[in-house]
Structure 1
Amino acid sequence: MAYRKRTIFSEKQKMEIWDRWQRGESMGSIGRVFDRGSPPIYPLLERTGGIRPIARTRSRMALTLVERKEISRGLVAKQPLRSIARNLHRNPSTISREVRRNGGTKHYRAAKPEA
């Protein structure tokens, strides 16, 4: 039995699907726009009960990429975590968790934050 290739939609395509769904188009007609039937469209809409999900935003408390790079520079300069935290006006425990989560003091890499 041959399995179908999984359909993965880009963010732009997902927005198009949600726009068409909100305008009242059927899953079949939406699928035809993407040269598919309704089966790949259904799971996208079904996950939230046919209601467009709210766009995700990062908390203002989350570390920014600039802060992560500053942590990286501080670790290379062998600054204590408390000193790095003071320079960033952050709690030392926040810096400690970030470093521990991303490789420790010797292998820390300033990872790009998730959207």
Structure 2
Amino acid sequence: RWSPDGKTICFLSNRSGQSQIWLISADGGEARQLTACKHGARNPVWSPDGKHLLFSALLAPGETFSQREADADAQTEKKRKQPMVVERLKYKSDDLGFPEGKTQQLAIFDVVTGEI
């Protein structure tokens, strides 16, 4: 998506393993990664002033938007060894996969300071 001033483009890329939000100048150069959400980020939308990005991400209870993949490897490994219990008819999304207790949350990223 183009920024409101037309100088910057934000886009999704999975080059870091999960789909994250990246930023690149319209003039070219190297892209820089903005988000580092454990389950990826999606749907970025610019604020009218171009200083913030609204995005969504899946979060499990107790997780934060900036929790990196390495921070939760031990928890993930423990969960992989246990079978998945399905308690409702709609247990999977073709877009998101198995939610496994995670919910879709919104966050605002400050492009100037880099804080969520």
**TM, length-normalised to structure 1:** 0.22
Higher relative contact order (CA 8 A, sep 6+): 2
Larger CA Rg, structure 1 vs 2: 1
Higher strand share: 2
